[in-house]
Amino acid sequence: MSKVVASLQEAIRLCGLKDGMSISFHHHLRNGDYVLNMVMDEVSKLGIGELTINASSLFDVHLPLITHIQNRTVTKLCTDYVSAGIGRWISQGILQEPVEFRTHGGRPSDMLLGRTPVDIAFLAVPTSDTMGNCTGKVGKSACGSLGYAFPDAMCAKKVVVITDNLVDYPLQNWSIPETYVDYVVPVEAIGNPAGIVSGTTQITRDPVGLVMADLAAQVIRYSGLLKDGFSFQTGAGGASLAAAKFLKEIMVKEKIQGSFGLGGITGYLVEMLQAGCFQTLLDVQCFDLKAVESLRTNPRHQEISSIHYASPTAKSAVVDNLDVVILGATEIDVDFNVNVHTDSSGYLMGGSGGHSDTAAGAKLAMVIAPIVRARMPIVTDHVMCVSTPGRDIDVLVTEKGIAINPAQKQLKQRLSDAGLPVMDIAQLKQMAEKVTGIPRKVPRGDRVVANVIYRDGSLLDRVYNIP
């Protein structure tokens, strides 16, 4: 027996795709992904329309989607993140129905609860056998973890695996087993390796970034959490990586043995694992080649599903045991609400990803950002969009000082006692406005273009069109 079908079009036909159905995609191939466009081209040739796309993230490589939206092949989007090119179209109101933004934990949760049923999941996988046992660890398009694809495989009525490395049955060390898979389609290439993972993610050389990173590491050091058993997540931004590097130096010097590093994994987290800072890495997505290599070769580096990572309705998820997370922000307001969905002009250019999941779970959720970015003060009175509620954010670290959520009295005391530059968040706002001037309000339309759905399924905020 074999599940291999000759073409994508045949697989789509066999799955019985019809008008109005919902199809899903995962984003491990990031801006190198060919699969979403490939599938949508076939769907559009078949003349099927009014589809919902449920994608864990959308990148600008997916801009051909705009044409499919204009042709009404696609009429609804659900995603956890969009990059700026696609975000601009959404903000200009290309879709009649608002885009549904979820979090990396909320998406699998809603799928498993049946709130967002998926008819067909299309899984881009770097290696699969003829029955659909598949993995991202090997193959010419290796992307490492397939963490975000698990709920799609588990919940969709039909599952199509698309691969550019078809191997004999049975594949060893699979990530997603054949039990979920209906069809396997071999193609020439599932993605462009240059866009899938970066060769190396680089730490910042910007002096402002380094000052922030150093302060972030000091905050962790004096938070009371940096001791044996410590767990940590950070993003792939330059300053976050620098903070990880400074943290590693502290942990090595003080011989602190942490328990796990979590999240999107970069080479810097791998170095921390190798240096003995952690017992294990729990990996929902690899950001660079070093992470892919480590996941493939080091048994202490483990792949986890997005359910296991962050689902609020799983019996437990790793974020619930996280000590510290370092997060970014396009804006943060005086109540510590964070915006990572829109830019300072209100255009969509991001999304929660795991932001609000980790902020909710972590004992210390830290935002690091420069006090001014391209003349925009980072601290505002009200963020344009609440991506993560202020109650879940504990500290803001800028190059000029750190502000602590008033609810965290003990932390404030600890950091003040350590001699760190603790100040009121309103002070940071004033400092910035002194050099930038006070920004005027940007015009906003009155049509909702996106709903931001919190990890528990409730509506957290709305994003309006830009006229």
Partner 1 sequence: MGQIVKKATAGTMESSDAYIEISPGEEGEGLDIQLESVVYHQFGQAIRKVAEEVLQEFSIERAKVRIVDRGALDCVLRARMETAIRRGIEEE
Contact with partner 1 (CB under 8 A) among 342, 344, 356, 465: 344
Number of shown-chain residues binding partner 1 (CB under 8 A): 15
Task: Tell me whether residue 173 or residue 345 sits nearer to partner 1 (CB atom).
Answer: 345
User: Does residue 20 interact with partner 1 by CB under 8 A?
Assistant: no
Choose among 318, 223, 198, 204: nearest CA to 261.
318
- Cβ 231 vs Cβ 247: under 8 Å: no
User: Does residue 113 interact with partner 1 by CB under 8 A?
Assistant: no
Strands 376-377, 372-373: pairing is: antiparallel
How far is residue 449's CA from residue 463's CA, in Å, rounded to a whole number? 6
Contact with partner 1 (CB under 8 A) among 192, 198, 436, 451: 436
DSSP assignments along 213-280, one per residue: HHHHHHHHHHSS--STT-EEEE-SSHHHHHHHHHHHHHHHHTT---SEEEEEE-HHHHHHHHTTS-SE
CB of 344 to partner 1, least distance (A): 7
Task: Tell me whether residue 131 or residue 372 sits nearer to partner 1 (CB atom).
Answer: 372
Contact with partner 1 (CB under 8 A) among 170, 229, 406, 443: 443
Task: Tell me whether residue 75 or residue 436 sits nearer to partner 1 (CB atom).
Answer: 436
Choose among 70, 62, 116, 78: nearest CA to 95.
70
Cis, bond preceding 170 (omega within 30 deg of 0): yes
Task: State which amino acid sits at residue 193.
Answer: P
Task: Tell me whether residue 264 or residue 370 sits nearer to partner 1 (CB atom).
Answer: 370
Q: Tell the residue number behind the tokens 């490395």, with chain if given.
A: 165
Task: Tell me whether residue 18 or residue 375 sits nearer to partner 1 (CB atom).
Answer: 375
CB of 442 to partner 1, least distance (A): 4
27-35, 89-97, 233-241, 429-437 -> range binding partner 1 (CB under 8 A): 429-437
Q: Tell the residue number behind the tokens 């404030």, with chain if given.
A: 412
CB of 443 to partner 1, least distance (A): 6
Task: Tell me whether residue 247 or residue 466 sits nearer to partner 1 (CB atom).
Answer: 466
How far is residue 422's CA from residue 412's CA, in Å, rounded to a whole number? 8
How far is residue 44's CA from residue 396's CA, in Å, rounded to a whole number? 46
User: Does residue 435 interact with partner 1 by CB under 8 A?
Assistant: yes
69-77, 177-185, 259-267, 440-448 -> range binding partner 1 (CB under 8 A): 440-448
Task: Tell me whether residue 163 or residue 330 sits nearer to partner 1 (CB atom).
Answer: 330
CB of 444 to partner 1, least distance (A): 10
Q: Which two tokens stand for residue 43?
A: 């769907």
Choose among 284, 206, 202, 273: nearest CA to 236.
202
CB of 369 to partner 1, least distance (A): 14
Choose among 275, 374, 280, 367: nearest CA to 321.
280
x-marked contacts with partner 1 along 346-385 as a string, rule CB under 8 A: --------------------------xxxxx---------
CB of 435 to partner 1, least distance (A): 6
How far is residue 449's CA from residue 451's CA, in Å, rounded to a whole number? 7
Contact with partner 1 (CB under 8 A) among 205, 253, 315, 440: 440
90-98, 107-115, 278-286, 436-444 -> range binding partner 1 (CB under 8 A): 436-444
How far is residue 80's CA from residue 99's CA, in Å, rounded to a whole number? 10
Contact with partner 1 (CB under 8 A) among 437, 447, 459, 467: 437
Q: Which residues bind partner 1 (CB under 8 A)?
A: 344-345, 372-376, 435-437, 439-443
